[in-house]
Amino acid sequence: MAGGVKIRVENVSKIFGADPAAALARVWDGMGKTELLEATGHVLGLHEINLDIREGETFVIMGLSGSGKSTLIRHFNRLIEPTAGRILVDGENVLGLGPAALRAFRRHKASMVFQRFALLPHKTVLENVIYGLIIDGAPRQEARDRGMRQIELVGLAGFEGRYPGQLSGGMQQRVGLARALATDAEILLMDEAFSALDPLIRHDMQMQLRDIQSRLHKTIVFITHDLDEALLLGNHIAILKDGRLRQVGTGAGILMAPADDYVARFVRDVNRARTVTCGALAEPGPVFPSPQAASGASGWVIISDGSGGHGLMRAGGGVRNGEAQLEDAVTIEASANVEEAFGALARRDRPLVVMADGRPSGLLAWQSVLRALQRDGGRHPAPERDA
Amino acid sequence: MASGFPELWDTRGFSRGLDAAFNGLVATWGETLEALFMPVLRLLGLMEKGLQALPWWLVALALAALAWHAARNWRTVAVVLALTLALGLIGVWDAAMATIALMLMATALSILAGIPIGVLMSRVDRLRVAALPVLDIMQTMPIFVYLIPFVMLFGPGKIPALLATIVFAIPPVIRLTDLGIRQVDPEIVEASRAFGASPGQQLWTVQVPLALPAIMAGVNQTTMMALSMVVIASMIGAGGLGYQVLQGIQRLEVSRGLLAGLGIVFLAIIFDRIAQSYGRRMQKSLKLES
Ligand SMILES: Nc1ncnc2c1ncn2[C@@H]1O[C@H](COP(=O)(O)OP(=O)(O)OP(=O)(O)O)[C@@H](O)[C@H]1O
Ligand SMILES: [Mg+2]
């Protein structure tokens, strides 16, 4: 899936204000965002950002409000010029593009969905969607056809003649999405593109984005406040705070090993049941017949009948009148997330047999599931709630 | 003068110099300028003759149709129609047509020049800084002051009247074009930039359309100011209703002055109604769409 580096961000810093260079020097001397604002009236937008975004991946940027997410994504198509640093797209320095080349870049290479929609209020939904194509001089009929397809894709068929002011926020956001998709750019820059959608449509859109991603291999930069969404969509996640990058990594990597307290607090509320897999929680369950016929941690032994069938036997018990009292085993795939195991676990008092590559690899007991769902993943005793 | 302000510099010399310079200008450029404005004068004459030659009911119908187009309500149409007919009834029809011609011409030229100037001002901050005080002066200077240099350049007639009217009427359309474009939501302009629009495309697809209600408000004001100025400009030979008022004063004919004055009031109401209705509808449609 992931190819070479599509977007490389090198030492990018951005200061808003009258004399950014001088302010940047003070930031280098260790000044933080609030102090800088108080001392000089300059706003620290970004500081020393280094990132590699690979071709064909979905790269998620997260962070609290004001942490610099929108500022960062605007650098990728040069709506904002950095105070220092470079942005390379396909190895080419975006900052070196002349006016015409920059326009071509924006028309063909990178399109954008805006946080506050930024639709043209005097144009209809269809005219909005085909705006990029018309700007580029596409024949009207061809643009219309393409626009109508995008409008259908985002579920707004029948609304193409309306004006943005006549639509709900969620509908407007989908118009913005269709407008960005219509130009067929290789890079999609999506600034909180799903934030105004209701949960059902949001889920639909997430699935559609994944579908588009897998079919068309677009490189997607996606800003969201929703960690579940980030984990669902993102191949990599970057976490920003006060204009600085705190951690970049895969979703699981960040969940399991948050770089600092800030990131840890950030991932506290994630729905772990959806992100932790059964395989990660399985305890080694002895498979009988096996070299060591001791009981597993859960007190159960997996009995394999050698022909793909499995049973469970209570360790140290289960033999009555010289016959093994086998009980049915329910299996679950190691790659399934924990949430999928809830039903089976609730229905019986026995652990589930976790299967990997068609063979039993361990046991999943409800105790370990509960432990894993604790905020800190059960690696520490439950913390006191902060006051 | 004993209690007078001390004479710190020689104003008389300054005045004399200025006058001499202007006289020189008139001498060297007067004819060229006159030739330059000949086509405008012809067009204006044609318009006036045309309006006067049209059957009265056609003019009334056209104004009523314009009112309907602007307001979409029968009351406005009725008011406009009644006042137009009243112009004929009080016997100032031909003079009114001459005034309308001059006013329309001045308004059209003001808009033609004013919108591009306003657009430029919105893009070039330095031009704006320089232009705003000039616009202020243009609007506050007593209008008779413009008449003098224009009359010197062209002699009394329609052209100086037209130019003085334009100078007086053009500031609102410039100001409001500039303001309207500056008030367009920067995020929308940014979006158009993000899709690769060139500066010209940004202007025509986003900024001007979104500034249109403001621009139209400017056009309204310009129209009304042109109307009021045209009346005064009649004193330097523009003809029309203002000239009738002037004659009334000169000949001490109260009735002539009164009827012409009434005609001016009727015209003002007609154009005010039409212009305001346009403005209101423009506001409403943008609210619906945004
Ligand atoms: N044009 C600007 N001028 C001055 N300061 C700015 C400008 N744009 C952004 N900032 C500042 O930069 C910082 C980052 O803003 P940004 O919009 O990138 O935040 P964000 O992470 O997108 O927040 P949100 O989640 O609320 O959208 C903020 O402190 C903001 O005040
Ligand atoms: Mg933002």
What are residue B10's phi and psi, to 5 degrees? -85, 90
What's the half-sphere exposure (Cβ side, CA atoms, 13 Å) at A223? Answer: 23
| Cα–Cα dist B229/B97, whole Å | 16
* pLDDT in the model for residue B2: 56
Share of chain B above pLDDT 70, in %: 97
Q: How far A134 CA lies from chain B's nearest CA (Å)? A: 10
Predicted pLDDT at A288: 64
Residues with CB under 6 A from ligand 1: A 16, 43, 45, 63, 65-71, 115
Q: Whose CA is nearest to atom 28 of ligand 1?
A: A66
Amino acid symbol at B222:
T
Q: Which residues of A touch B194 (CB under 8 A)?
A: 77, 79, 106, 111-112, 114
Q: Report CA(A70)–ligand 1 centroid distance (Å).
A: 7
The tens digit of pLDDT for each residue in A145-166 reads 999 999 999 999 999 999 999 9
Cα R_g (chain A), whole angstroms:
26
Residues of A whose CB is below 8 A from B201 = 135
ipTM of the complex: 0.78
Mutation test residue for ligand 1: of A12, A36, A44, A71, the one with most atoms within 8 Å of CB: A71
Residue A382 pLDDT: 40
Round to whole Å and give the CA distance between A45 and A24.
10
Give the model's pLDDT for residue A297: 52
Q: Mean of the pLDDT values across residues B114-141?
A: 91
pLDDT in tens, B189-233: 999 999 999 999 999 999 999 998 889 889 888 988 888 887 788
Residue B186 pLDDT exceeds 90: yes
User: How many angstroms is it from B195 CA to the middle of ligand 1?
Assistant: 21
pLDDT in tens, B256-265: 889 998 998 9
Q: According to the model, what pLDDT value does residue A320 have?
A: 62
Cβ–Cβ under 8 Å, residues A329 and A353: yes
Ligand 1 centroid – CA A66 distance (Å): 5
Q: Which residues of chain A have pLDDT under 50?
A: 1-2, 291-295, 377-387
Task: For B31-75, write each residue's pLDDT tens digit.
Answer: 888 888 888 889 988 998 998 899 999 999 999 999 999 888 899
Q: What is the pTM of this model?
A: 0.79
**Residue B76 has what pLDDT?**
92
Average pLDDT over residues B140-163: 83
For tokens 């070039």, what's the residue?
B124
- CA dist A130 and B195 (Å) reads 10
Distance CA A312, CA A178 (A): 53
What pLDDT is recorded for position B87? 92
φ, ψ for residue A310, nearest 5 deg: -135, 150
> Would the CB atoms of B197 and A121 count as touching at under 8 Å?
no
- Write out the residues surrounding ion ligand 2, Cβ under 5 A: A 70, 115
